[in-house]
Amino acid sequence: AAMDKTKLVDLKEGWKEGTPVPYAALAQAFTFIEATTKRIEKTALLTALFLLVIRRSGEGDTQSLLQTVYLCINRLCPDYMGIELGIGESLLVKAIGESTGRNLSTIKSELKKEGDLGLVAMNSKNSQKTLFKPKPLTVPFVFTNLKEIAMSSGHSSQNKKVSIITKLLAACQGSEAKYIVRSLEGKLRIGNAERTVLVALAHAVVLAEQEKANKRLSKERLTTKLEEASATIKAVYSELPTYDIVVPALLESGIDQLRERCKLTPGVPLKPMLAKPTKAIGEVLDRFEGKKFTCEYKYDGERAQVHRLDDGTVGVFSRNSEDMSKKYPDLMEQLPHCIKDNTKSFVVDAEAVAIDRTTGKLMPFQELSRRKRKDVKVEDIQVRVCLFAFDLLYLNGEPLLHKSLTERRELLREHFQPVEGEFDFAKASDGETTEEIQAFLEESVKDGCEGLMVKMLDSDASYYEPSRRSVNWLKLKKDYLAGVGDSLDLVVVGAYYGKGKRTNVYGAFLLACYDADGEEYQTICKIGTGFSEEALQSHYDALKPLEMTKPRGDIKIGGAKPEVWFEPKVVWEVLTADLSLSPIYTAAQGLADERGISLRFPRFIRIRDDKSADDATGPEQIAEMYERQVLAQSKGGKKGKGG
């Protein structure tokens, strides 16, 4: 990495202080980052790039770093604003043709061979003779144009998009066209995970601060400082996941002030706290022994984070920070009814559940998922939703994350009121014995819930932990008690064409789990039975645009050989009867065994479009499931302790 970093430094040529960041600097960094799979090297390269940007940004310039960060993760704004790139292949082929004068069929046949439109664009550019050297691309120019493309919609927008893309491509030099085209496709493919970017940002800011203060810390002091800074930025970002605020704050008041300056803010959805699965009531009691805890119904709906700003604006966000107000206009209408007068701004954590208005019965998630996702009109809605609130994270100007659940729950109950069929508090019981929990669990299932959530009530163990799968929240599902085990959320990374009547669609799929530490996808199984013709067709339609002829570098393939690869994006919930060691798949390799773990007889349950690829189940969880199974088998069916 040392050598690479020096090469990055070379870029200062033609990049004077206070002038815009040349896009060539990014393309250069991307080339190095793409060439390594090691996270430490990726982090070092990104750090070097960010540091260069900070050094050369003029006084008060926060946009240069902000736009650089966004381009590195191929986004244009925070997730919840929903502005995304994902330009179709044909439009891009057209633009490449127009800007290089090559004919479309040559471009297409080259694409077939290379499997990467970015590479094809770069080769097309480089084989073209130009008389004049174009004016170099800059980061602000690229960023603004990408944003304009992403934001233009409607019929007449096609021509406009092609003309902007053509203009961008015309100015590309070296490897720039490769990354511009990949950005436009929405597949940058350099494997920059959010965590790497956050750590690199922290490191760059600390190093820049040292330079500015003209201080040289000892190696140990510096290492500690860098580690602290990474922890700070990760914690802050999980509360306030928007670079729009975090990056300027970092530059203006430094890493030490960051926690103070960036706190949970209504309007910016945070990443929700998650729970750990447990298999038996005994396990819950072991974990929470001697502590106060509560059991709540685990409703079978969709997570909904409800925000209200000081000015009265209300927003509802999904678990994935998507704006859900278009999907739930009925919820938006209902919300004001449950807010008491003493409540101004707030963030409520809740579950939106389908409900039968006449009987008041809860309905399963499937009913909810049948609703349209966009442009829903209240008068057309068949299935109504009721909101079950279980947490209060912010109230009247104050974040509550560091208050105990007991306090948060009291405030929730004081500031909101139940409205029949529209809003209620999650049903809770603070019973503590196995019998009480068992009875409440059965009641929850009878009432149409999935089971229970068991939560720590007091002390700092009950603080709200954004984006964590915490041991202080345990889920107890009826499925586990039936011995089925928890479902897994897996990413579709490849497919195999069908046979017989099904040759026009994929007949089977390659699934993977996601290792957040190694930032890689690990293959886990092939799934291909139990799909109807319609289901296969709709999976095909959804996955086809994500096709890539070569696997992305962050997929640990093992011996799997699918016929097509996908950009990891689509998440499926899958159940399995059995896990086994596998010489082919790579999931959880080296954890329970040298070999990977695979699912036997996997069964598709549903698409999880409220989850992104990096929310998929992790290898530790899979190893844990496998070890439990081995343990259960070695006990020879003897009854384990607890429920």
Return residues touching ligand ATP (CB under 6 A). 272, 274-275, 296-299, 303, 319, 351, 390, 426, 453, 475, 487
In the complex with ligand ATP, which residue's Cβ is closer, 161 or 455? 455
Report the nearest approach of ligand ATP to the CB of residue 456 (Å).
Answer: 13
Task: Find the catalytic residue in 5, 94, 298, 455.
Answer: 298
Q: What angle do CA 51, 54, 56 make, to 5 degrees?
A: 110
Element (H, E) at 53: helix 39-56
In angstroms, the CA 78 to CA 265 distance is 14
Report residue 386: phi and psi, to 5°.
Answer: -120, 140
Residue 185 Cα distances to 124, 146, 181, angstroms: 17, 11, 6
Residue 298 appears among annotated catalytic residues: yes
Q: How many CB atoms lie within 10 A of CB 312?
A: 10
Please state the closest distance from residue 302 (CB atom) to ligand ATP, in A: 7
Smallest gap from residue 406 Cβ to ligand ATP (A): 15
Rg of the chain over Cα atoms, rounded to whole angstroms, equals 26
Nearer to ligand ATP among residue 176 and residue 302 (C-beta): 302
Q: Which is nearer to ligand ATP, 110 or 489 (CB)?
A: 489
CB 462, min distance to ligand ATP, A: 13
Residue 473 CB, nearest distance to ligand ATP (Å)? Answer: 7
CA distance 308 to 526: 44
d(CA 180, CA 606): 34
Nearer to ligand ATP, 296 or 424 (CB): 296
Decide whether 436 or 609 has the Cβ nearer to ligand ATP: 609
Q: How far is the CB of 267 from ligand ATP (least distance, A)?
A: 21
| CA distances to 11, 168, 550 from 134, in Å | 18, 11, 32
Q: CA-to-CA distance for 392 and 410, rounded, in angstroms?
A: 9
Instruction: State residue 293 phi and psi, 5-degree precision.
Output: -140, 165
Distance in angstroms between the alpha carbons of the first and the last residue of the chain: 53
Report how far residue 107's alpha carbon sits from residue 175's, in angstroms, rounded to the nearest whole number.
17
Q: Distance between CA atoms of 595 and 581, rounded to whole angstroms? A: 6
Q: Which residue, among 540, 532, 530, has the nearest Cα to 495 in the 3D structure? A: 540
Nearer to ligand ATP by Cβ, of 298 and 415: the residue is 298
Contacts 24+ apart (CB under 8 A), 225-229: 226/202, 229/202, 229/203, 229/205, 229/255
User: Which residue, 440 or 565, has its beta carbon nearer to ligand ATP?
Assistant: 440
- Catalytic sites, residue numbers: 298
